[in-house]
Amino acid sequence: MITFEKLITAFHEAILSANDTLKQKNTFILDEFFEQSESSLSIKAILRKIRLSKNKFKRKQLIDNLNKQIDLEESGKLNFSKKLKPKMVTIQYPSKTEKGHITHDVHVPLISMVPVRQTGIEEVKITSELELALKNDELMVSFPKKNHGGRTYKGGKQLSKIEIKLTPTIESEGLKKIIEGYDKVLRAQIPG
């Protein structure tokens, strides 16, 4: 037997862990739709600049910058020197002109073409039969080996019913604005 509090805590921690896993999956949007910009200052790029620099003051600045970069990466904090650019495709778009139909290149961010779906846990329902007992003024629970009808389950296991309701979450306001911005850039490239 375990305390009722420990049982509820275990369920709660399992639900939080599942929700954290979903949140982590949702952050893969960055990897799916963005890539690191060449202008992003990486540790290798800073080392290369240090080697090439002849100016002692500039070298000291670069070394300080490198130490900050290493500290950020080691602490796992967000690295603001990392710049992302949208993954793009080029589509030839037809246009009608006075000279007839022509095509021109339209640079399209993937995030403007693919619906962005995120998932979250909305509701969890757990149904089970429990044996209850009071021990030292504390509620204790266990899963019975027999149900009220007298049937014993194989290996002493209790049948339980778990319902988890997953629903699409509303995209964050920041992500929404970024997608709208790329949509405007796309519209500006298409005549008409």
Question: Which pLDDT belongs to residue 146?
Answer: 60
The upper half-sphere exposure of residue 68, i.e. CA atoms within 13 Å in the direction of its Cβ, equals 13
pLDDT tens-digit map of 138-147: 888 887 766 5
Instruction: Calculate the average pLDDT of the chain.
Output: 76
Question: Which pLDDT belongs to residue 41?
Answer: 57
Confidence check: pLDDT of 187 > 80: yes
How many CB atoms sit inside 10 A of residue 33's CB? 21
Closest to 18 (Cα-Cα) out of 147, 153, 123, 175: 123
How far apart CA 142 and CA 128 sit, in angstroms, is: 10
Residue 108, Cβ density class (10 Å: 0-12 exposed, 13-18 middle, ≥19 buried) = buried
Closest to 172 (Cα-Cα) out of 95, 116, 131, 132: 116
Confidence check: pLDDT of 136 > 60: yes
Question: Which pLDDT belongs to residue 167?
Answer: 64
Closest to 41 (Cα-Cα) out of 73, 76, 16: 73
Whole-angstrom CA distances from 114 to 11, 45, 47, 110, 179 are 36, 33, 38, 6, 10
Confidence check: pLDDT of 87 > 60: yes
Question: Which pLDDT belongs to residue 76?
Answer: 63
The H or E element containing residue 114 is none
How far apart CA 56 and CA 72 sit, in angstroms, is: 24
Whole-angstrom CA distances from 174 to 85, 114, 165 are 16, 17, 26
Question: Which pLDDT belongs to residue 165?
Answer: 67
Task: Answer with the residue of higher pLDDT: 49 or 109.
Answer: 109
pLDDT tens-digit map of 42-85: 667 777 777 887 888 778 877 887 777 677 667 765 455 567 88
* 106 torsion bin: left (phi>0), alpha (psi -120 to 50), beta (else): beta
Task: Answer with the residue of higher pLDDT: 152 or 107.
Answer: 107
Confidence check: pLDDT of 152 > 60: no
Band (157; pLDDT cuts 50, 70, 90) = very low
**Reported pTM:** 0.48
pLDDT tens-digit map of 2-34: 888 888 888 888 888 888 887 777 777 778 888
